[in-house]
Amino acid sequence: MKKILTCFIFLPLVLACERTVNLPGDPSERILTLNSIICTGDSLHTAFVAWSSFDNCYMIEDASLRCYVNGILQSETSDLTGHEAPQSIRFKCRARPGDMVRLELETPDGNLAAAEVQAPLPAVISSVDTALVTMLRQTDRYPQTCRQFLATMEDRTGEDNFYRVQIFSEAALVLAVKGEYERHEPGDTLAYYGRKELAVINTLEPSLNNGIRIPREDDRTTVYEPDYFENAFNIFRDSRFSGSAYTLNLACEDRFYNRSGGYMGGSSYICRARAIVRLNTMDKDAYSYLNAVQYYSSTLTEFSVDAPLIFKQNVSGGAGFVTVMSSFDYIIDLPDMQL
């Protein structure tokens, strides 16, 4: 039977609010919960917080979040965001592989929830080849133009390793030809569109997607709902290639360019874009946690009556899970697009 704990947050996506867990103390007591995934490749991170009881969760009226790296305070904030539980707190943290990171969530009445984790040593991506391809996925009515990446990674030897792969885009509007009324000079960046994460198409990569589908019959045809085997987090382990180089076959929709702008007043512009393939190295607890989240959020739980899933917890004085992933970014400058 599934027990309910509405406020235990599954990261980095808030996918579900149910889980089986042994709560410390009295089930009627409110427990401070703290959940966060920190990546060494980023400087700004998010923690999700709430008061939890056995059957509900509640907003925190006031609390402060402190982040320490190797015992040194890096940031402290009490800027809670959200109008319902769970709430989020954005905080700064610059950690490197091997660093010890500690998060502390404290309320004015002295309740303290804390977790301390070490950033693992990262694996690296040694090379990436990329090209545009046409793909017809099972959910597509028409072929789509996608960008394929063949990313060769170097697995760390002598240990079991666990990974997550992501793809990001960055784009900027750059002046190519200066017109009569343009005050900038050719080559100047006029707008930076920021970094955005793109959905990884993992159907070509067996370490990410084994091709299993759970069909569901309706009145007309067989359709395929999102399920555990689609691996939405794109996590994997090195059991196929332990201690050696391995090439991941990845793809995503070709959404790297911002096509706004053009020819104005004699000026012309280009979009300068780049792709970032990120390999995150995590510990076994983080892998097990995310894998359990994917299973529990899938349609498989409608068919099976297995033993309760075990979700890792490492927060003292409360409940939740905090982890640090070590990131390696491989950056590819794409051809400029004339607007």
pLDDT digits (tens, 9 = 90+) for 113-150: 999 999 999 999 999 999 999 987 766 678 889 999 99
Claim to verify: residue 191 and residue 333 sit in the same structural domain:
yes
216 - beta bridge partners? 223
Instruction: Confirm whether 289 is domain-assigned.
Output: no
Amino acid sitting at position 216: R
Q: Which of 291 and 229 is assigned the larger pLDDT?
A: 291
Q: What is the tally of structural domains in the chain?
A: 2
Claim to verify: residue 89 and residue 159 sit in the same structural domain:
no
Range of the domain at 189: 124-281+328-338
Q: pLDDT, tens digit, for every residue of 25-81?
A: 566 688 999 999 999 999 999 999 999 988 888 999 999 999 999 999 999 999 999
CB 251 within 8 A of CB 133: yes
Claim to verify: residue 157 and residue 257 sit in the same structural domain:
yes
**Section 258-273 average pLDDT:** 76
Note the pLDDT of residue 13: 41
Claim to verify: residue 141 and residue 65 sit in the same structural domain:
no
Claim to verify: residue 70 and residue 113 sit in the same structural domain:
yes
Claim to verify: residue 112 and residue 163 sit in the same structural domain:
no
Claim to verify: residue 184 and residue 266 sit in the same structural domain:
yes
Tokens 């280009």 belong to 270
Claim to verify: residue 194 and residue 143 sit in the same structural domain:
yes
Claim to verify: residue 268 and residue 131 sit in the same structural domain:
yes
Of the listed ranges 93-107, 109-123, 209-223, the one predicted with least confidence: 209-223
Instruction: Confirm whether 78 is domain-assigned.
Output: yes
**Section 176-198 average pLDDT:** 82
Instruction: Confirm whether 22 is domain-assigned.
Output: no
Three-state DSSP class for residue 154: strand
Contacts of 128 (CB under 8 A, 6+ apart): 149, 150, 151, 152, 277, 330, 332
* CA-based nearest residue to 291, from 211, 213, 199, 228: 228
Whether residue 12 is predicted with pLDDT greater than 50 in this model: the reply is no
**Section 208-213 average pLDDT:** 79
What percent of the chain is predicted at pLDDT more than 70?
A: 82
Whether residue 172 is predicted with pLDDT greater than 80 in this model: the reply is yes
Claim to verify: residue 156 and residue 109 sit in the same structural domain:
no
Q: Which region, left, alpha or beta, applies to residue 219 given φ > 0 means left and ψ of -120 to 50 means alpha?
A: alpha
Instruction: Confirm whether 238 is domain-assigned.
Output: yes
Q: pLDDT, tens digit, for every residue of 148-160?
A: 999 999 999 999 9
Band the pLDDT of 264: cuts 50, 70, 90.
low
Whether residue 242 is predicted with pLDDT greater than 80 in this model: the reply is yes
Claim to verify: residue 215 and residue 318 sit in the same structural domain:
no
CATH number of the domain residue 66 falls in: 2.60.40.3580
Instruction: Confirm whether 265 is domain-assigned.
Output: yes
Instruction: Confirm whether 239 is domain-assigned.
Output: yes
Band the pLDDT of 14: cuts 50, 70, 90.
very low
Question: DSSP letters along 62-104, please?
Answer: S-EEEEEETTEEEEEE--EE-SSSSEEEEEE----TT-EEEEE
Instruction: Confirm whether 188 is domain-assigned.
Output: yes
Claim to verify: residue 111 and residue 131 sit in the same structural domain:
no
**Section 172-182 average pLDDT:** 81
**Single pTM value for the model:** 0.84
Contacts of 168 (CB under 8 A, 6+ apart): 195, 196, 197, 198, 275, 276, 278
Whether residue 266 is predicted with pLDDT greater than 80 in this model: the reply is no
Instruction: Confirm whether 15 is domain-assigned.
Output: no
CB 148 within 8 A of CB 133: yes
Note the pLDDT of residue 193: 84
Average pLDDT, the chain: 85
**Section 168-186 average pLDDT:** 84
